[in-house]
Every structure is written in structure tokens, then in C-alpha cells.
């Protein structure tokens, strides 16, 4: 299972009860397609960077979830059909893999001067 992040913007003209139902519906879509919702954060009403369909504000929702590779495509399709969702973006999280091996500590070779002074003491 892959890890994903989803951020979608809901139209602010939608009432609070309808907005809560939409958030639950999105979580249900994830669960119905074999995914598992880890975290849901409602960021609230914010100003958009630019007007989308003559709207300057949107209600932001963040979702972190696990799922198969086919889940983001289906979720994106269903969010695109819903008229209450202004924009959405799904991002796959990559695990950090360190393929670089640590270098061994480099010790300078002993010279004759340092060896003779160490034996003289």
C-alpha cells in the first residue's frame, strides 16, 4: 500500500451540514476502494491565490491515506465530477531511501618525523 496526501477545496456557498457530508463521502470513497484514512484536517475557509470560476474563497480539507495504485485515479475522477469541489490534488509520498554508504574515517598515514618524535619521548 502506498501513502498519499489529498487536498481539496470545497465551495464556500455549501452549508456546513452538506460540507460535513461531503468530507464523509470522500472518506467513504477511500474506504470503499480498499484504502485507509490516516488523518483528516479541516483547514477552514481561506482566500484562494487566484479566482476559480469567479470565486475567491474556498474551504480547504487535507486527508492523509494509504491505498493501492488505482485509488488516486478513481478518487480524482469522483472529485472532478462533484460540483461542490472547486479543486483537488493528490500526491504520492515517497519513502526516503539512503543508498549512500558512509565513508570510513580517513586517517593520515604516519610520517617518519612523527614516528621518531613519538619514540623519542
Q: Does pLDDT of 56 surpass 60?
A: yes
CA distances to 36, 49, 81, 90, 91 from 67, rounded to whole Å, are 6, 30, 21, 12, 12
Looking at residue 96, the DSSP 8-state letter turns out to be P
> pTM of the prediction?
0.76
**Per-residue model confidence (pLDDT) at position 1:** 87
Residue pLDDT, tens place only, 73-117: 999 999 999 999 999 999 999 877 777 777 777 777 767 665 566
Query: What is residue 19's three-state secondary structure?
Result: helix
Tell me which residue of 52, 57, 54, 60 sits closest to 9, measured CA to CA: 60
List the 2-11 sheet strands across, edge first: 36-52, 55-67, 2-11, 85-93
Looking at residue 40, the DSSP 8-state letter turns out to be E
| CB 85, CB 8: distance < 8 Å | yes
**Per-residue model confidence (pLDDT) at position 104:** 75
**Per-residue model confidence (pLDDT) at position 119:** 62
Amino acid at each position: 500500500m502506498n501513502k498519499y496526501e489529498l487536498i481539496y477545496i470545497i465551495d464556500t456557498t455549501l452549508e456546513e451540514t452538506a460540507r460535513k457530508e461531503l468530507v464523509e463521502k470522500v472518506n467513504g470513497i477511500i474506504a470503499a476502494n480498499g484504502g485507509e484514512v490516516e488523518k483528516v484536517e479541516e483547514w477552514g475557509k481561506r482566500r484562494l491565490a487566484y479566482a476559480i470560476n469567479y470565486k475567491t474563497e474556498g474551504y480547504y480539507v487535507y486527508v492523509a491515506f494509504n491505498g493501492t495504485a488505482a485509488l488516486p485515479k478513481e478518487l480524482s475522477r469522483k472529485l472532478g465530477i462533484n460540483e461542490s469541489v472547486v479543486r483537488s490534488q493528490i500526491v504520492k509520498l515517497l519513502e526516503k531511501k539512503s543508498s549512500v554508504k558512509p565513508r570510513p574515517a580517513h586517517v593520515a598515514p604516519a610520517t617518519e618525523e612523527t614516528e621518531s618524535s613519538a619514540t623519542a619521548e
